[in-house]
Amino acid sequence: MEKYLYLFLDISSFVVPFLFSFEKKWMNFIRFWKPFFSAIFIVGFFFILWDIYFAYQNVWGFNDQYLVGFRLFKLPLEEWLFFLLIPYASNFIHYSLEYFFPTIKLTKKVTQGISILLFMVSFCVFVWNLDKIYTASSFGLFALLMLFQILTQWEYARRFYLSFILIYVPFFLVNSALTGMFTDSPVVYYNNDENLGIRVGTMPLEDSFYCFTMLYSSVVLFEYLRRKFNYPLSIKN
Question: Are residues 11 and 68 in contact, defined by beta-carbon separation less than 8 angstroms?
Answer: no
Question: Residue 189 phi/psi, 5° resolution?
Answer: -120, 155
Q: Give the mean model confidence (pLDDT) for residues 151-174.
A: 96
Please, which pLDDT band fits residue 184 given cuts at 50, 70 and 90? confident
Largest CA distance in the chain: 52
Above 90 in pLDDT, residue 236? no
Name the least confident of 24-38, 82-96, 164-178, 197-211: 24-38
pLDDT score at 65: 92
* SS3 at position 89: helix
Helices (H), 57-107: 77-100
How far is residue 75's CA from residue 118's CA, in Å, rounded to a whole number?
31
Please, which pLDDT band fits residue 211 given cuts at 50, 70 and 90? very high
Question: Are residues 73 and 50 in contact, defined by beta-carbon separation less than 8 angstroms?
Answer: no
Please, which pLDDT band fits residue 151 given cuts at 50, 70 and 90? very high
Please, which pLDDT band fits residue 159 given cuts at 50, 70 and 90? very high
Question: Are residues 95 and 235 in contact, defined by beta-carbon separation less than 8 angstroms?
Answer: yes
Please, which pLDDT band fits residue 230 given cuts at 50, 70 and 90? confident
How far is residue 86's CA from residue 12's CA, in Å, rounded to a whole number?
10
The identity of residue 45, as a single letter, is F
Work out the burial of residue 236: count CB atoms within 10 Å of its CB; fewer than 13 is exposed, 13-18 middle, 19 or more buried: exposed
Region label for 93, one of left (φ > 0), alpha (ψ between -120 and 50) or beta (otherwise): alpha
**200 DSSP assignment:** E
pLDDT score at 112: 98
pLDDT score at 216: 98
Question: Are residues 224 and 148 in contact, defined by beta-carbon separation less than 8 angstroms?
Answer: no
Output the pTM of the full model: 0.94
Residue-wise pLDDT for 33-43, tens only, equals 999 999 999 99
DSSP string, 3-21: GGHHHHHHHHHHHHHHHHT
